[in-house]
Amino acid sequence: MSILSVDERETVRRHLNALVHPVRLLFFTQTFGVPETVAQAKQILDEVASLNDLVTIDEANFVLDKDRAAAFGVEGIPAIVVMRGTDDTRMRFLGAPAGYEFMSLIEAVLVAGTDDSGLTEESRALIGQVTEPVDIKVFVTPTCPHCPRAVTLAHKMAMSSALITATCVEATEFMDLSRMYRVTGVPKTVVNGTIEILGALPENEFVRAVLDRPSATEPPLL
């Protein structure tokens, strides 16, 4: 049974027509002891791949391919690594991209498969100044309508710098991470395990907050 309605499939198909680069979705799963959301994630990926020939799925076993999982920083399953062909975009999903997060997946595919991140020149200039690794985790739930904005902005930042990795984490699937980072509401963005951003901010504010760059209009601290 299809997750998407006929109309939804056509809408997604139209969006995916913008792809100009092949997009490979590296899907980490395992044979035994898998959570129910693994099957859900696989069905979602299969449907997306069926709508455009430039989108393919590559399955990897989280248990048997430990080195591969470690290389991509995958911490559990289901997990999705978004690739542009053979190149890592550093965009990740930890958990099934269901509910509102389905559109986050589509946006990630579009960012990987097109040549424009959609970020403003100011954002790109700030990202261009990054000189050390930046790890962004955006905690979400499938029922949160505001979460995709934060996820997509984080993913666009990752696509714009080889030093930035951004992971969408489904908070209720990965309660250990949610407890570790004291997630009590979503979206919550955690940067390098220390900087915390609550809510879905406008692009300029979000990028500056992630990179810990106060706005030029903010008064200096006394």
User: What is the reported pTM?
Assistant: 0.94
Residues paired with 106 in a beta bridge: none
pLDDT score of 218: 53
pLDDT score of 222: 47
User: What is 6-210's CATH number?
Assistant: 3.40.30.80
Tens of pLDDT along the chain (222 residues) come to: 688 999 999 999 999 999 999 999 999 999 888 888 999 999 999 999 999 999 999 999 999 999 999 999 998 999 999 999 999 999 999 999 999 999 999 999 999 999 988 999 999 999 999 999 999 999 999 999 999 999 999 999 999 999 999 999 999 999 999 999 999 999 999 999 999 999 999 999 999 999 998 875 555 444
A 10 A CB-CB count for 115 gives 7
Listed by start position, the domains of the chain span 6-210
Q: Which of 73, 212, 196, 209 is nearest to 132 (CA)?
A: 212
Which residues have C-beta within 8 Å of that of residue 222, sequence separation ≥ 6?
A: none
Q: In the structure, how many helices (H) and strands (E) does the chain have? A: 8, 8
Q: Which of 157, 153, 152, 183 is nearest to 170 (CA)?
A: 183
